[in-house]
Chain A
Amino acid sequence: MIAIVGAGPAGLSAAVAAAKLGQQVILIDSSPRLGGQYWRHLPSNWGVGRPPYFAKAQELFDEVLSNPLITRFSNAHVWQAEKKAEQFNLYVVRNGVEEIVKAEKVILATGAYDRALPFPGWDLPGVMTAGAAQSMLKSHGVLVGKKFVIAGTGPFLLPVATGLAAAGAEVVGLYEANNPLRWILNLHGLILNPSKIREGIYFLKKLRSLGIKVHYGKEIQSAVSDGVLVDGKKIECDTVAIGSGFVPELSLAGILGAKLKVGADGTVVVDVDQNQQTSIPGLYAAGESTGIGGSSLAVLEGEIAGSTRKGKRLARWRAQVFATGLQRVYPVSNKWQSALTPQTILCRCEEVSLADIHGAIDELGAQDGRSAKLFTRAGMGLCQGRVCGRNVSEIVACHLSRDLTAEERINTAQRPLAAPISLGELGDGLEKNF
């Protein structure tokens, strides 16, 4: 039995690859629909032309839904996991009830969440991550605002901006922090992946046809109740969707003891070998959790993890070259820290400001992200530091004029529980003889 956690591009592709080899697969996903964040709920009547990835997504959806070897667990969260005697036990809360999934092989395809950088006013209602705005649209058909500003950095802002506009929103501007000339740093990636050029052209055409203006090298300075400030000029809007790259979701990898490592851009990822196997035998990882690389790389990694086939390694290498080049085109510098004011909230769950963090360092002697968290409660709220953990530790290190260590970065990526569980369900587990 192979258990796959996550039904996005990597998880779907892994499931199909494994089932094609005759393996029994359980595909576990927290959402009711297949697709994960990026392929979530693809509309069957896609408006202005289908996106380039549509065909692959549809192929995998059809295969997963029709292959009798693949069992789907939807609305299911793996909250805890362990490896005992060559077997993995995944503790899954499905539709609110806990059950156990036992498997000899586990593939983690847990994806990533948006990285949001704080700025004055980012805690106002109407400011949200680009992923959240997109997900509200795709899952619920809801436009969270009428007049949008999209800001941050990275190619993911393109599908968000075009998706919102195609659904009827007014997108008054896309503010991309980096200069497009930086693409010169990824020419080799483009040459190796001509499909990416087609994808780029698709989105540029779409931006034009939807009338969305892209402002390069521009960042939001602050947000107020009815707009944002860019270069001292106010741009009116009711909703701001922000995203500066992604943070891989690594809770399960950490719980199972897989080795994590820090990528060149400071992102913490799962360390995997040529077959996508982690440091724990039988535990594999594919997709964004092994490095932010987009859906096409995720599909290839999933296929390799599901089948351990060597044939896709060259294609994966090409896609990895592109992904690494992308990090050079869209770097996230430390510049965001200089825009903060003492009152800027860093942890929105617990309402901890920059001044609170500086106080914890200067007055109470905090020397790292962990003690800053214990003194201020930053990162102790509902999101468990998924939004602010990395930002707070970078601020602490910067305030102490030092670099973050790899160990500190890895610590901010780890969580003892991969998902919440109700106390009732947790206690009832005693009677279930798992």
Chain B
Amino acid sequence: MTSQNNFDAIVIGAGIVGATTSLALTKAGLRVLVLDRGPVAGGTTGAGEGNILVSDKEPGPELELALMSRDLWFELGDDVGDSFELEAKGGVVVSRGDDTALRDFAKRQQSAGVNAQLVDGNELRKLEPHLAPGMNSGAFYPQDSQCQPMLAAAQILKRVRERGGIVKTGTMVTKFVIVSNRVKGVETSEGIFNAPTIVNAAGTWAGEISKLAGSFLPIAPRKGFILVTAPMPQIINHKVYDSDYVANVASGEADLQTSTVVEGTRSGTILIGASRERVGFDGSMNIDVLRRLAAQATSLFPILRDVQLLRAYRGFRPYAPDHLPVIGEDSLIAGLWHSAGHEGAGIGLAPGSARLLTEQITGRSSFMDASPFSPRRFQGGSA
């Protein structure tokens, strides 16, 4: 065995979570190998809008992580250079009827440190002049941001390579090398690699990787569609949500939910998300989902009625039963760490998760209490 095959840490997954985690570990002085069976950002990262949101999160550990993560994104932007379209675009949540829930939610977020500004109809129309009439209440979240997630993952991994890390795409992990319940390395399609620390950042496939290591993690796919229109001049300035969106994100119901998020992009196309279905890895097109997304988007912005839908794409969000990400060490296999199950918030939460995990791996004190994210909540074992 040559020393070329020995690393301080191996990160499985070259999506946004794997990319940010490997950069954080590299910066902490570890020699890192990143493995992915597919290309960079070939899974959920490559099928997302690039949301970096605080607006959709209830006060609690996920919001705390999101707030830190959002700041870390802009630090990353300074480090890597503005090469992945990072933009503090701002989010606008619109209420269609009774706005009590929206106002309560915003107020609770304010006390948790979110910049949430309640706005009336006039202010709404200043923010988004093309909103449908009759929408007279909303909230503005200047912190909500956006990046191009595939480019972000690729640029961050480029930085990892520049700092001495190795990235191997097209490399499938076939087996874990485990000695007395402790990881020693992995066998892959390209050979054996050794490391005392292995990070499972396999996103929607994190459950399979856990199983391969002889452990268990209940991560399942939740399908979503995004509609993409033909390019047009900018008419939508922010990320604009229906207030139902927040309720859907937090919901665990299996059947289909749609609630609109509409936004313009730098390339002039308009993106419309986001549906949520738990149908396993069934990738088929659901025409009804596309219709609902379109109907909701045009009811928010009637000007979109004549805009042509150019394509639709789908992805699978990795979700855990309690809708919180899993960040921490496995309770059955020592040296196996997880950062997965971020559902639709993986882009936003990635740098924060990376920091939290790196602090634990390197034994430093954490910026926040990491126990709510621990895999032990599913695996049992003492904290």
* A residues lining the B interface (CB < 8 Å): 80, 82, 91, 255, 350, 360, 363-368, 370-371, 374-375, 377, 380-382, 384, 415-417, 420-424, 426-430
Contacts and interface: CB of A to CB of B under 8 A. Distances in A.
Given A365-B167, A367-B170, A371-B42, 8 more contacts: A364-B155, A365-B157, A366-B154, A370-B46, A416-B285, A420-B308, A423-B298, A424-B294
Contacts of A426: 290-291, 294-295, 309
A365 B151 CA distance: 11
A374 B84 CA distance: 12
A422 B154 contact: no
Contacts of A427: 291-292, 294-299, 305
B150 interface: yes
Nearest to B157: A365
A350 B272 CA distance: 20
B312 interface: yes
Contacts of A422: 305-309
Nearest to A417: B311
B313 interface: yes
A375 B304 CA distance: 27
Given A364-B158, A382-B230, A371 B305 contact: no
A29 to B, nearest CB: 19
B17 interface: no
B274 to A, nearest CB: 16
B349 to A, nearest CB: 21
B310 A371 contact: no
Contacts of B219: none
A381 B40 CA distance: 22
B267 A375 contact: no
Contact of A430 (B231, B291, B297, B304): B291
Contacts of B296: 427
A422 B232 CA distance: 13
B46 A423 contact: no
B218 interface: no
B263 to A, nearest CB: 14
Given A381-B231, A426-B290, A427-B291, A367 B39 contact: yes
B41 interface: yes
B85 to A, nearest CB: 11
Q: Closest 4 CB pairs between A and B?
A: A424-B305, A427-B295, A364-B154, A426-B294
Nearest to B150: A374
A382 B285 contact: no
B230 A384 contact: no
B287 A80 contact: yes
A364 B229 contact: no
Contact of B41 (A374, A420, A428): A374
Contacts of A365: 39-40, 154, 157-158, 167, 169
Contacts of B295: 426-428, 430
B327 to A, nearest CB: 25
A380 B42 CA distance: 17
Nearest to B14: A365
B311 A415 contact: yes
A417 B39 CA distance: 25
A80 B292 contact: no
Contacts of A364: 40, 151, 154-155, 157-158
Given A417-B311, A421-B308, A423-B298, A371 B290 contact: no
Contacts of B307: 422-423
Interface in B307-345: 307-313
A335 B295 CA distance: 48
B117 to A, nearest CB: 29
Given A364-B155, A365-B39, A427-B295, A350 B309 contact: no
B299 to A, nearest CB: 8
B229 to A, nearest CB: 7
B310 A420 contact: yes
A159 B21 CA distance: 59
B195 to A, nearest CB: 21
Contacts of A415: 311
Contacts of B309: 417, 420-423, 426
A374 B46 contact: yes
Contacts of A424: 294, 298, 304-306
Nearest to B308: A420
A100 to B, nearest CB: 10
A382 to B, nearest CB: 6
A91 B287 contact: yes
B310 A384 contact: yes
5 contacts: A382-B231, A417-B310, A424-B304, A427-B296, A430-B295
